[in-house]
Structure 1
Amino acid sequence: MEKHRIKKIVLAGGTGFVGKYFSEQFKALGYQVVIISRNNAHIQWDNIQEIEEALNNAEMLINLAGKSVNCRYNQANKDEILRSRTATTKILGNAILKCNHPPKIWINSSTATIYRHAMDRPMTENDGEIGSGFSVDVAKSWEQTFFNFDLPQTRQIALRMAIVLGAGGGVMRPFVNLVRFGLGGRQGSGKQMFSWIHLEDLFNIVLFLQTSEGLSGVFNCSSPNPIDNTTLMKALRKEMGTSIGLPSPEWILKLGALVIGTETELILKSRWVTPEKLLRAGYQFKFPIIEKALANILKN
């Protein structure tokens, strides 16, 4: 009689803010979680044999790997941002090709930044217009590398993720600090759109896609209710009980970005993205509006 096998999930790049949360949640559901990472405690990216063994008989592969874009876009950082996404995707795809029992589904990160700066209408998977520039080029190369693999036994989904909001990490820390120090007003014009997703919904979407066997391809992973920057900062101030929030003009943001080593694109690009395919497939958001999301995240 065959011994009962614990179901296995492979998290590539699983040591970051999202990866740690996913690991905890999958373990709570009874899965064995195997992590591929640059961290010495896990399978290393250059250990191809161990990666193949991890992927063999896995229920699902989730790839979250990639250098943070929260940095200055000098040439060295640009090269690493691109390489850390495409090279890891290639390693995983080639490893799946070697598996006798490949993962049933491979979910690869992508980004909602792939769409153009949108002030006029929301971008859906069906009618969204791809933008231009460095960040868009990275996203296009990332998705192209992923979908270039022909994997008959593995369903492939690219998640075009909006800004992920969750407790204890990600963008929430800098936003909270701005409000705390009285700088929680609009940033730039305040009219740029902010597409976002609660960390818990992100995880639930992965579970939803895992069990929805007819779904594949590209999915916008964002709340159905994007807001503009002014509305975001107002909701944050209200939730934190702060009435004062000085605005940050664009020139101050550019100066501040230079000082802390980041780019203003992360704040000033208008990301107006809606999850048309997820809604059509029947996914129900737990945190569809920003007020509910912030109340949950900041309750501790």
Structure 2
Amino acid sequence: MARDNINDILVFLAVARERSFTRAAAKMGMTQSALSHIIRSLESRMGVRLLTRTTRSVSPTEAGERLLLNVAPRLEEIEAEIAAISDLGDKPAGTVRITAIDHTVDTVLWPRIAPLLHEYPDLHVEFSSDYRLVDIAAERYDIGVRHGDQVDKDMIAVRLTEDMPMMIVGSPAYFATRAKPTSLQELLRHNCIALRFSGSGGVYAWELLDQGRPIEARVRGQTLFTSIYPMCDAALAGCGLAFLSETMVGEHVRAGRLVSVMPDWCPTFPGLHAYYPSRRNTSRALALVVDAIRLKT
């Protein structure tokens, strides 16, 4: 196959995975028009349509789906072998792509990885802050971060943090004119600060405990965010109640800036784990990053 065909197939795979020319162009650092031209040229040479385009979406045709399912894994094997050969050099090199929420990147991953970058100048790390439960294999991430009970059993999991107590908090100013909730019914009448998942558009239901029994509280309020940082800021500003981890709000509670309520209703979530696919040849770059971010006992 001509080398140009391989490059063009890589472009097709990016568009097919993203289901969007816009997102694929941003990821590849190219213009949408350039991507469209490459796809049309590839389709012309192959004599078959690979993508179905509408004004609102892009999806693979039957031929495109076959290319995606059968050719993509082979190209990934080639990339893995090239990375393995590069690992035979004196210095670990390559890019490790990680997906995690912003708070985890800031407080767990970055402090542990930053020293590694000074030591290994040919090592590159790409962080993607995302609240979705990302399929790291499909989206070509090397590492994902989730709570321990959310990691698929076919993944290798490495603990990053201790288990994480959750808290329902509000500011003293908020409670100056409102009674503190003591039951689910009372909680649902409060102005609650909610989290919307940017990928699915769904709103997170608070995972609480009713006398030890897991329940979901579909709270409502005046504010919706797609990140937990502004949720904490909104709670500090007296805009409502927030359901956040002790690692994020515990210091504010101890300082009196926030008040914890309904502690018996708040669960302790399993600690954060880094997870990655089981591979026969794990690159030295990936192994270095995993070792740097694991919880040291």
TM range (shorter): under 0.3
| Structure with higher strand content | 2
Relative contact order (alpha carbons < 8 A, sep ≥ 6): 1 or 2 greater?
Answer: 2
- TM-score w.r.t. length of structure 1: 0.25
Structure showing greater Rg? 2
- TM-score w.r.t. length of structure 2: 0.26
